[in-house]
Structure 1
């Protein structure tokens, strides 16, 4: 019988788990002649156990490939390589190595850099490097680039696999993944993420737009394009509405407002009759003012949602950090209580605030030392002249709120 799988543990995820599962299916197919076992697949042990230890995770986090300087250098090299590609194509320098020697040397240098970058990332991530689809694309570009250079230096026909040069432009898309998490590019990343997240809705909207364009194309061809009287008055009628395909192009031109006023609109209104003008108005309302604005609204709404979600996440992180700081200040309060009475007076309070670490913690909470000293009376809720730990923490929270309201004002 086919090998059974272990039960009772929760399923995990990972590249190794997927690879082992494929191997498992292959063993069952070879030994027992069946791929589908006829029952629901249970998670394998490789899916249930995490394979990345804390030491390995720390090694990856401190690896040179995770450094901001390395990421920034990679982004600069990608942009420079893309700009150089455009200059080479615009310069029309030819395909032979002798004709493009400077660009060829630059290709060698860029190829060496990206090859080294790939090796560093593979050293950092191991086989998990090939889990990311962008790494697959980059790997294929590097292989084709090396092949291109090899052909260029060994044969006279250097244009044999110049497709590698064109594919290098795909590396520019990697910039979007490199800027993730960088505060300077947070706005750009938000727009990219919003566009990608709304892609499914955009596809459906695009399909609906195609249906609308085709429907209006049929209507224009039927109402305007097949009328002999209109063709006599409008000599370019066959060009714009002579067939369904041409009418669809005309409708798209009107929706995008591309040179539509003089050549199309005036003739449809003046020579196309009432129905021609009515169809034109419907195209403008439904297409230009309707569907195109829906597309923009979808992306804007998605970006707003992601921004709100990010602000909520940042707010939770800030709140957690503030709670940690208040807990540490509570411990500092206990240390400042020299007589062990569980309370501190104003002198002890001022002495405690002179500590550099406490000053730093208060500054992180948005409270200056002077503000804390001045609000001693506010913290002393029972007016006993001393502070308890509870009064101290609650007082800091009140002072923090007052400081924030003053900043807003």
Structure 2
């Protein structure tokens, strides 16, 4: 009999005084007293439920405030000790050399070309001798992952060793990045990643000739590229575009980007939606803009441009929004003396390319799924891009003729 049955019997038992009926409040109080009593007993003889909650492990620890210097130091020190312990768990150079020696010693002939091979039985033997740090690598899952078409059921020793090296390197990098996680929350803020890359520059041979005055530009460019592609969200000639040398770009200065054929309507949208300062764009915002335009096949880039094209903020492009942007292309064509192109024809081509689920609306996902997002966005925002698309067949034919001329003796 559990506490629920006992509770029901006690509540159903007759009153000691049959002439007196208990009030509704008395019945509720008695019910609560009995519930508390039997629930506590059911949980192991505790006198009240508060004792039960005390046994729940603590799972939330607040971050120290700025003025709690001692707590902050303690947190930093404990994180450093934790990361040092994790680093010691990784294979060092001597242990990696020992692993290679054991693998080579247990290879099973014949070799495939110059590749030494090992079967599963010897694979497990090496795992037993290699030490506890290597245990995670010597599993059936890892062996099966590297097993391909060998008729003897063996894997390449070199491929396995490279797998181990890559895992060790990734964990080393993870620990190295964690040292820059100032808040200790498991992620890097933009400033954290900037510090990491800035301290990494002197170790990169490719950047030996980079002047220190350009370090900040390199760091900013690298960080913005990381954040652009890792958060669904090179630099062009930023300094050349900045004609007044104030470190910012106006709409007029940005209009000279690339072939200088982006429409003013699209540039207006850029300055409406993107972060600006007194109507001018800073270097970080410029980098996002450039990354989006130079990587238009990528979902992150299409998301950036789609937000600019979605002038009504409806989550889709309709005939109105397409016409809104293409009218600016038509106006530029007139200015440059080109024959106008019917919007109706362009609109039909866009919908044919994208094939959206809704025949009247193009969503961001439709654009991504079509693999035509780069073409569609180019048609709508850049006269040079539209002209290239419109004359693609003639350009291909011309390239073929030029190739033939080169080949002729």
**TM-score normalized with structure 2 length:** 0.22
* Greater percentage in helix: 1
